[in-house]
Amino acid sequence: EPEVTQTPSHQVTQMGQEVILRCVPISNHLYFYWYRQILGQKVEFLVSFYNNEISEKSEIFDDQFSVERPDGSNFTLKIRSTKLEDSAMYFCASSEHGVFGDTQYFGPGTRLTVL
């Protein structure tokens, strides 16, 4: 069964450093998403991406964040200058067509620890 994959599973970084989290969405899916879950809190939407453009983003997704589809398979989330409060599980998701009734399928997550 096709699945969303993410690398690395765990990333430790120093505050102020840049990190790139990588995702390979399901191959025939056209919409891609990033969510995060801070320990003990809800899963929160960050951004959705379609046709090489951001289609929706939350207030959390400020200028320190960016997303990119550098090639035909990868989807990345870059955090330019990490802060302590960026420590969280980051989940990538993908869906087939993004319209009503579409289901988002999630990857296993990357645990980001900012020291």
Partner 1 sequence: DQQVKQNSPSLSVQEGRISILNCDYTNSMFDYFLWYKKYPAEGPTFLISISSIKDKNEDGRFTVFLNKSAKHLSLHIVPSQPGDSAVYFCAARLAYQGAQKLVFGQGTRLTINP
Asked if residue 98 binds partner 1 (CB under 8 A), the reply is yes
Q: How many residues touch partner 1 (CB under 8 A)?
A: 28
Phi, psi of 85 (to 5 degrees): -75, 0
10 within 8 A of 114, measured Cβ to Cβ: no
Asked if residue 25 binds partner 1 (CB under 8 A), the reply is no
- CB closer to partner 1, 82 vs 110: 110
Q: Which of 25, 26, 20 is nearest to 8 (CA)?
A: 20
Binding residues for partner 1, per CB under 8 A? 4, 6, 31, 33, 35, 41-45, 48, 55-56, 58, 91, 93, 95, 98, 100-109
